[in-house]
A and B are shown apart, each in its own frame.
Chain A
Amino acid sequence: MRHILSVLLENESGALARVVGLFAQRGYNIDSLTVAATEDPTISRLTLVTRGDDQVIEQITKQLHKLIEVVKLADLSESAHIERELMMVKVKTTAEQREEVKRCADIFRGQIIDITASTYTIQVVGTSEKLEAFIQALNGTQILETVRSGVSGISRGERTLSL
């Protein structure tokens, strides 16, 4: 099962290393990881996508809680939530492909954010599935580079993870 864990941690040097180290040390998976300061600069929010059965996820959340710098955490996948990921794809475009690539980006509500004579750079935002579908849709176009932000997520409704 895929889970999205949202973690608030003290914005201190070494805190991120502790989280990442925990996953490496105990053999847990990290599919993606994003981290940045929140509106309170002393707190960072880390969003982590992992996989495991219920017992593994329970251990992961308990072990994360044990880290002194972890203030709060939630498994977003336990309730209604929104997830987004940002991707930038640089593709090689021949003159005859350009129109098709533009149309494809439009369908996925992507934006072309940079162009050269032979390339497009397209930005797409959505769930990880949507980003993968977009890559599939580019079939036939030469992808030069993809950059993905990793998943960010937030609970729906009034539920929050905050101090």
Chain B
Amino acid sequence: MTSQNTQPELLSGGAMLIRALADEGVEYVYGYPGGAVLHIYDAMFQQHQVKHVLVRHEQAATHMADAYARASGKAGVVLVTSGPGATNAVTGIATAYMDSIPMVVICGQVMSHLIGDDAFQETDMLGISRPIVKHNMSVRRPEDIPYLVKKAFYIAQSGRPGPVVLDIPKDMTIPSQKFPYEYPKDIKLRSYNPNAKGHPGQIKKALATLLAAKRPVLYAGGGVILGRASDELTVLARKLNLPVTNTLMGLGAYPASDPQFIGMLGMHGSYEANQVMHNADVIFAVGARFDDRVTNATKKFCPDATIIHIDIDPASISKTINAHIPIVGLVKPVLQEMLHQLEKNKGELDQDALSQWWQQIQQWREVHGGRYDTSPSHLKPQAVIEAVHRHTKGDAYVTSDVGQHQMFAAQYYKFDKPNRWINSGGLGTMGFGLPAAMGVKLHYPEAEVVCVTGEGSIQMNIQELSTCKQYGLAVKIINLNNGYLGMVKQWQDMNYDSRYSSSYMDSLPDFVKLAEAYGHVGIRVTKAEELEPALERAFALKDKLVFLDIHVDPTEHVYPMQIPGGAMNDMFLSKTERT
């Protein structure tokens, strides 16, 4: 008996795929069936470990998987058919790629013998996805499926994470062709060794530089969130008395309510964060990549700063801004080593210089301080975000779409925990917010999940309200409706004499009726005094998706805003003030 039990089970390619996902610990797969993946869907039907979520458009499947990964740290899984199924997934794959999100995308493909013949629903998905994936592979022999699935997860989740596409021709999954199934325990690739701990000598040098700094700043990005290193970062920042700024991707890496937090930096960063960066003598960049939305003009970037840069991806170091002390390594072990060395180090901080620096920072804080016009005549989008923060006790998962509402959410929802702020930072994908909220809600049904969106973005994946109904996903949608593509309009106001070329939508649907048509609750808010009762009602409806269509001031702009071509600290502070 025993020897029989150790015999590997015989499974078809499709069944092996699903079993491998189960063995990888995958709970949900997001996808849409079609011809090339029918064998796989049939195998899915015949088991209960891996559950399938049927979206209404493949882009939404990728964003759901992506957001699940952002919230949980584990790779999200997508299953789509060949041709249009695969190409519809492309935007979501690119979104994940730009933000280094682990994701495994399984695409059907036409039968092997038809590849290259322009067969029905054939597209070269390996070619199409190549520039927007960490890696992609195709299955040539069904018996390779378990190994390739393991390899896909390994590559997606290790080092600098990213999406991996696995292309599976239909004849690799034929139900009658069975092979012995064994899932590899681990995997080693001679060409890929992602786990760098950071050079101890470089870490020592970095620590000495930080201890001697007079005007230091800690600039922390998405790498801290992906690397699960918020605790180490927070301890180190406090020990070294560093002011901390987070990037758009790094919000929550350091608690926003902490007195050492100086806000987000960059294009719509806080006045104080951008001033601190520009005037710093030491910039300690952790898991951040000196993106163009952070640095403003690179030639004018932080002229006095010695730059320490920790990143797992050597290609991110000295790409746009030269690093004086580069440290290639995973953020967590590097920070742990730094804390360890700090314990032993007898070096003293320059307390006088730091106290002067903090005084200066305090003065900068008072210059702008996140102020906005609070006159009661108009409902301000910033005020809505602050109210949402209050109603959710600052503890919600907040997803966003792309535009002004995204920046308002980033600025005014003060994130104290990592993995709570979920937005498309790198690619800037409109349509991300709703499916992202769905992906989070599915895995954390007890958590409050809020999608901050605008009337432009929400319509890019509004069909997913139907998926929400099917799976009972009670997310709260905060639609900051200003009747314009707000960020486009802001740029047109500032640079094109308010010529609103195609940024106005004069045929918006009745969002309340639309939500109701999908079986949800819709609430419209048009006056400031309606906001509080509406939010109260929405968050009390625990089991309902509530679509709050909130009509906000259409003339509002996002400030501060860096002046293009300037230094970090060249900013517009309002429609009439600039530095």
Contacts and interface: CB of A to CB of B under 8 A. Distances in A.
Contacts of B318: 55, 58
A136 to B, nearest CB: 40
B326 to A, nearest CB: 11
Contact of A63 (B127, B134, B192, B315): B315
Interface stretch (A67-75, A77-85, A138-146): A67-75
B191 A69 contact: yes
Interface string B106-128: 00000000000000000000110
Interface string A4-20: 00000110001001100
B445 interface: no
A25 interface: yes
A59 B131 contact: no
A10 B191 contact: yes
A65 B196 CA distance: 14
A163 interface: yes
- By secondary structure, the A interface counts as helix
A66 interface: yes
A25 B129 CA distance: 12
B293 interface: no
Interface residues of B, number: 18
A139 B189 CA distance: 53
- By secondary structure, the B interface counts as mixed
Contacts of A69: 191
A66 B191 contact: no
Contacts of A66: 313, 315
Contacts of B138: 14
Interface in B277-322: 313-315, 318-319
B131 A70 contact: no
A68 B131 contact: no
B65 to A, nearest CB: 21
Nearest to A163: B190
A17 B127 CA distance: 8
A66 B127 CA distance: 18
Contacts of A58: 318
Contacts of B178: none
A70 B138 CA distance: 18
B191 A25 contact: no
Contacts of B315: 59, 62-63, 65-66
B191 A9 contact: yes
Contact of A68 (B126, B135, B319): B135
Contact of B192 (A55, A59, A68): A68
Contacts of B314: 62, 65
Contacts of A52: none
Among A10, A58, A62, find the residue whose CB has the most chain B CB atoms closer than 10 A.
A62
B155 A68 contact: yes
B130 interface: yes
A163 B190 CA distance: 9
A71 B191 contact: yes
Nearest to B137: A14
Nearest to A9: B191
B105 to A, nearest CB: 16
A63 B192 CA distance: 13
Contact of A70 (B130, B134, B136, B191): B191
A129 B472 CA distance: 70
A74 to B, nearest CB: 15
Contact of B126 (A14, A55, A71, A163): A14
A36 B313 CA distance: 29
- Which 6 A-B pairs rank lowest in CB-CB distance, beginning with the nearest? A62-B315, A71-B191, A68-B135, A25-B131, A62-B314, A68-B192
19 contacts: A9-B191, A10-B191, A14-B126, A14-B136, A17-B127, A21-B131, A58-B318, A62-B314, A62-B315, A63-B315, A65-B314, A65-B315, A66-B313, A68-B135, A68-B189, A68-B191, A68-B192, A71-B191, A163-B190
Interface of B: 126-127, 130-131, 134-136, 138, 155, 189-192, 313-315, 318-319
